[in-house]
């Protein structure tokens, strides 16, 4: 396995679009390290399978993604609730690709959580267009704070303001609008 976590990738404006029938799947351990990835994950990420296994899943995190979205994901998963989200990922070559992500817990035969399973597919242009300026505002807000918790709280509030009149969680909002 190559050590690629510290490799800095410069994002470009090139977009790789998922087709309707593309399904990216992966599994991680409880700490978020990749234990399995399908051919689509390998293709869209631009990495070799051997380079991905054992790496943190955030190896494909695009800097345009608010950290607060991942905080919400982890909060859902810790409660053993599914997470739905619109995620902008970063390919090894700097290109980006949007996904509609569904992440859920994996359990052993005794019902104990052993990791996470994620399926990502094509995200509608409408939801991407709706969330892009919100995510940009969230990332900017996160950059204003030295305190990580305060940054996350204020960033999440921006998203909550968007969905508060819908009386839904972020996951519910995404699921109903994807």
Range 64-72 average pLDDT: 95
Q: How many helices (H) and strands (E) does the chain have?
A: 6, 5
- Asked if residue 18 is part of any domain, the answer here is no
Report the pLDDT value the prediction gives residue 1, as an integer from 0 to 100: 45
Distance (Å, whole) CA 172 – CA 159: 13
pLDDT tens digits, one per residue of 112-123: 999 999 999 999
33 lies in a domain? yes
Q: Who's near 15: CB < 8 A, 6+ residues apart?
A: 95, 96, 97, 98
Q: Domain for residue 11, yes or no? A: no
What pLDDT digit, counting tens, does each position of 124-174 carry? Answer: 999 999 999 999 999 999 999 888 888 889 999 998 888 877 778 888 888
Determine the pLDDT at residue 84.
95
- What tokens were used for 57? 């899943």
The CATH number that applies at residue 69 is: 3.30.450.20
Residue 120, in any domain of the structure: yes
User: Long-range contacts made by residues 108-117, C-beta under 8 angstroms, separation at least 24?
Assistant: 113/30, 113/80, 114/29, 114/30, 115/27, 115/28, 115/29, 115/30, 115/35, 116/27, 116/28, 116/30, 116/32, 116/77, 117/25, 117/26, 117/27
At 140, list the tokens: 């900017």
Q: Tell me: the pLDDT tens digits for 35-44?
A: 999 999 999 9
Q: Per the structure, how many domains does the chain have?
A: 1
Least confidently predicted of 67-71, 119-123, 173-177: 173-177
With a cut of 60, say whether residue 2 has pLDDT above it. no
Q: Answer whether residue 12 is part of any domain.
A: no
Residue 171, token pair as written in the block: 């996951």
5 compared with 37, residue with greater pLDDT: 37
pLDDT confidence of residue 148: 85
Report yes or no on 5 lying in a domain. no
CA atoms within 13 A on the CB side of 32: 13
Residue 13 lies in a domain: no
Q: Which domain holds residue 90?
A: 23-177
Q: What is residue 7's predicted lDDT score, i.e. its pLDDT? A: 65
Cα 88 to chain center, whole Å?
A: 7
Give the residue-averaged pLDDT of 70-93: 95
Task: Look at residue 27 and tell me if it is in a domain.
Answer: yes
- Round to whole Å and give the CA distance between 131 and 85: 10
Query: What's the pTM value of the predicted model, to 2 decimals?
Result: 0.90
């Amino acid at each position: 396995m190559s050590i690629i976590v510290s490799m800095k990738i410069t994002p470009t404006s090139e977009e790789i679009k998922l087709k309707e029938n593309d399904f990216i799947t992966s599994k991680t351990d409880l700490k978020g390290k990749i234990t399995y990835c399908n051919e689509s994950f390998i293709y869209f990420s631009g990495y070799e399978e051997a380079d991905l296994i054992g790496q943190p899943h955030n190896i494909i995190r695009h800097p345009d993604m608010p950290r607060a979205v991942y905080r919400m994901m982890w909060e859902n998963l810790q409660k053993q609730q599914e997470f739905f989200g619109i995620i902008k990922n970063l390919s090894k070559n700097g290109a980006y690709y949007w996904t509609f992500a569904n992440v859920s817990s994996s359990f052993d035969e005794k019902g104990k959580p052993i990791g996470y399973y994620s399926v990502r597919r094509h995200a509608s242009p409408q939801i991407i267009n709706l969330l892009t300026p919100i995510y940009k505002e969230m990332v900017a807000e996160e950059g204003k704070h030295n305190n990580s918790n305060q940054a996350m709280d204020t960033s999440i509030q921006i998203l909550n303001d968007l969905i508060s009149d819908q009386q839904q969680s972020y996951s519910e909002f995404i699921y109903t609008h994807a």
